[in-house]
Structure formats: C-alpha cells, structure tokens
Amino acid sequence: MERIFNFSAGPATLPQEVLELARDELANWHGCGMSVMEMSHRGKEYMGIQAEAEADLRELMGIPANYKVLFLQGGASSQFAMVPMNLLRGKASADYLNTGEWSKKAIKEAKKYCAVNVVASSEDKNFSYAPAQDAWKLDPNAAYVHYTPNETIGGVEIFWTPQTGDVPLVADMSSTILSRPIDVSKFGLIYAGAQKNIGPAGLTLVIVRDDLLGQTINGTPTMFDYKTHAENESMYNTPPTYAIYIAGLVFKMLKAKGGLAAMEKANRAKAQLLYDALDASRFFNSPVAPENRSLMNIPFTLKNAVCDDEFLKDAKGRSMVQLKGHRSVGGMRASIYNAMPIEGVQTLVNLMKDFEKKHG
Ligand SMILES: *Cc1c(COP(=O)(O)O)cnc(C)c1O
C-alpha cells in the first residue's frame, strides 16, 4: 500500500526509512533473537541502544557536557508540573510568556505551585503573534522564565532566544525540537513530547543544566524528581524502551542527512512553498503575524468556512489527511515536521490552487 501524506500535529508522520528499518529489525534485532520490546532494559544490548541514542542526540543538538539528557514518560503535559516542582528552588514565583493554548496549560499547572507572573500575552489578538522581548515584564527574582517557542495549535513560532540574564530559561520545544539548530547553552531546561518531531508517543525528552538539579519542593515524588533520572541514566524504573529505540533511529537518520542545519534548510523550503501559496491567494488566509509564522505548524482559513468540509474531502481524495484545524483557530492546519516530504506540501499547494479556481 502507498503511504499517504499525514499532516497531523501529533502523533505525526515518521520517516519512512526509519519505519522500514524498524520493520526489518522487529522480531530479531541484530541477530540477538528477540525484538527491542522484549529486551531487559538492564541488558547490554538495550543499554547500548539507549546510550547511542543519547550520544547521537548530543551530537545533533550540540548539547554541552554540563547538561543531562533524560528519557522520561508522562508527555510534555507532565513537565508543566515537574518544571515548578524541580526549578522553584525556594523561590515564590516564576515568569511565563503566554502565546497560546500550550502556554496557557503550562501557566495553569504552575499556579498550583507558585505565583505566576505572566510577562506578556498575545491573547488580545487571539494568539496570532508573539510579544517582542521589550514588551516583557521580567521579574529578576523569578525562579525561571518559561515560554513555548512554537505554539503547535496557533502556528506561532519565536525565532529569537529570549534574554533572561541569570534567571534560567525554560522552553517547551515539543513541536520545534530538531527542526533547526539552537544554542542549548542559552537554556536552563528544554522539554518535548516525542510524538511530533522525535519519534513515537510515550517518550518525553528533558535536557537540563546540572546545577538546577536536587532542589525539589518538599513532597516531590521520587519519579518526578529530575535528579532521580539523572543519577540513574533514565533507568530508575523501566524506560519506554521501544520509543527510545525508534527515536535513536530518527537521530541517526538526521545525522546522515546533514544534521539540524540541513533540516532547517529543508523545513524553510517546505514552509516557504506553503506560505507563498497563502500570500498569493485571495481565498486562503494565514492568521499569523509574518515574523512569527511557524515552520512546523501552519494554520490557514478558507474565505468561506462552509467549504471546509469539501476541502478536507478533496484532500483525502489526493491522499492527504489530518488537515482539519484546531477549533480555537478554525479552518485548516498543516503540520509539516521533519518527516513530511516536500512532495506532500507540493500536493497540498496544488490542491489549494485547484480549489481556489473552483470556489474563489
Ligand atoms: C503536543 C504538545 C504538548 C502536549 O504534549 P503531550 O506529550 O501530549 O503531553 C505540550 N506542548 C506543546 C507545545 C505541544 O505541541
């Protein structure tokens, strides 16, 4: 069967070559007579797989030696609580930027643990832009500054790194990680659910500067303490072994393709193709401020919302699925992570042109 173009925001499309390699290795990994799913996480085969995944990720992202890489579970949503539990470090408040639905969820959870100072918000314009840094009201006594560099639902991306002085910068990179190079040393902590741009759901990645560990609030469960996982190489309990193995295959493939600089080039070309089509159209519209247009998640609306269902039906007829937009934005959303080939975006643009001719 032919593969279709899956524009889902997550779980999202995975590289075909990774799926095929995983299929070939499924029942008998490297001649050991069992699948990765069946291996002891304490055996040398699996420990090798995880160590290699971490080494490849460190190389891809240029992660400095004083940062720990943690392979956790519970999704990015668990990090909304684990971040304050671990990083408040005796302080009473934390700074949060509010740029959309995921920021809002992070803020809501943090309020259970501390006072939240919202440094700036774009809610006034339905989260269609990101406030510039000079509009942020940072608190020098905040425990950390949290932001969402790519709002997956609104399609709003921040391409610059906020300056927060000595206050650690924390980023929910769920939908932007591995899409372009970043300077990890500018961050105190980075987290991401794997199911957008890393691998299968069930794995959550945390990259944390080691001086921030070991200062949890009283009563923090052992499993929610980053130090537990840092000290046990993410093997305090059973890690999500198969998801880590697939993520490791993705990391190897990204390295072979030229790393994150090559990914950025490809991602910019894909996004440009779609944004150019939106700008040239009188029927389709991008609601996002030009300087914040996401490379990964591209929402767009049709001039006449009654055409939405027909557009989705036509898309399905051309092997494109999961284009329906989130209810908070309406219209469509094309998620075009690393694994979406440019042919998928071209197929979408071709449909948009034909659809506009018919309905415009
Ligand atoms: C998908 C997503 C989440 C939620 O991730 P889960 O792994 O489902 O908890 C959080 N933040 C952002 C930016 C996301 O895209």
Taking the domains of the chain in order of start, what are their residue ranges? 16-256, 258-359
199 within ligand 1 shell (Cβ under 6 A): no
Fold for domain 16-256? Aspartate Aminotransferase; domain 2 (3.40.640)
Q: Helices in 111-240 by DSSP H: which ranges?
A: 226-231
* Portion of the chain with pLDDT greater than 70, in percent: 100
- The whole-model pTM stands at 0.98
**Which contiguous run of DSSP H or E holds residue 358?**
helix 342-359
Average pLDDT of the segment spanning 174-193: 98
Mean pLDDT score across all residues of the chain? 97
Ligand 1: nearest atom to the Cα of 201: 7
Expressed in angstroms and rounded, the spacing between residue 76 Cα and the centre of ligand 1 is 5
Ligand 1: nearest atom to the Cα of 173: 13
- Cα separation, 322 vs 309, in Å, equals 12
Rounded to whole angstroms, what are the CA distances from 274 to 164, 265, 283?
A: 34, 15, 14
Tokens 């709002």 sit on residue: 151
175 within ligand 1 shell (Cβ under 6 A): yes
Asked whether residue 77 is marked as a ligand-binding residue, the answer is: yes
Residue 206 DSSP code: E
The pLDDT assigned to 328 comes to: 87
196 is catalytic: yes
Average pLDDT of the segment spanning 276-281: 98
Rounded to whole angstroms, what are the CA distances from 151 to 10, 102, 157, 171, 308?
A: 13, 7, 6, 11, 23
pLDDT band at 58 (very low <50, low <70, confident <90, very high): very high
Among the listed residues 193, 197, 162, 156, the one whose alpha carbon sits nearest the alpha carbon of residue 176: 197
148 within ligand 1 shell (Cβ under 6 A): yes
Tens of pLDDT, residues 64-111? 999 999 999 999 999 999 999 999 999 999 999 999 999 999 999 999
Ligand 1: nearest atom to the Cα of 80: 10
Residue burial 135-150, b: 16+ Cβ < 10 Å; e: rest: ebebeeebbbbbbbbb
* Between 73 and 1, the higher pLDDT residue: 73
pLDDT band at 2 (very low <50, low <70, confident <90, very high): confident
pLDDT band at 132 (very low <50, low <70, confident <90, very high): very high
Q: Which residue lies with its CA nearest to atom 5 of ligand 1?
A: 76
172 within ligand 1 shell (Cβ under 6 A): yes
Is 70 exceeded by the pLDDT of residue 199? yes
> For residue 91, with 0-12 CB atoms within 10 Å meaning exposed, 13-18 middle and 19 or more buried, which class applies?
middle
- Cα separation, 295 vs 289, in Å, equals 13
Asked whether residue 78 is marked as a ligand-binding residue, the answer is: no
287 within ligand 1 shell (Cβ under 6 A): no
Is 70 exceeded by the pLDDT of residue 1? no
102 is catalytic: yes
Rounded to whole angstroms, what are the CA distances from 225 to 11, 104, 215, 243, 247?
A: 26, 23, 9, 21, 23
Is 90 exceeded by the pLDDT of residue 212? yes
Asked whether residue 293 is marked as a ligand-binding residue, the answer is: no
Q: Which of these CATH numbers, 1.10.357.10, 3.40.50.1000, 3.90.1150.10, 3.40.50.720, describes 258-359?
A: 3.90.1150.10
Average pLDDT of the segment spanning 125-143: 97
105 is catalytic: no
Asked whether residue 172 is marked as a ligand-binding residue, the answer is: yes
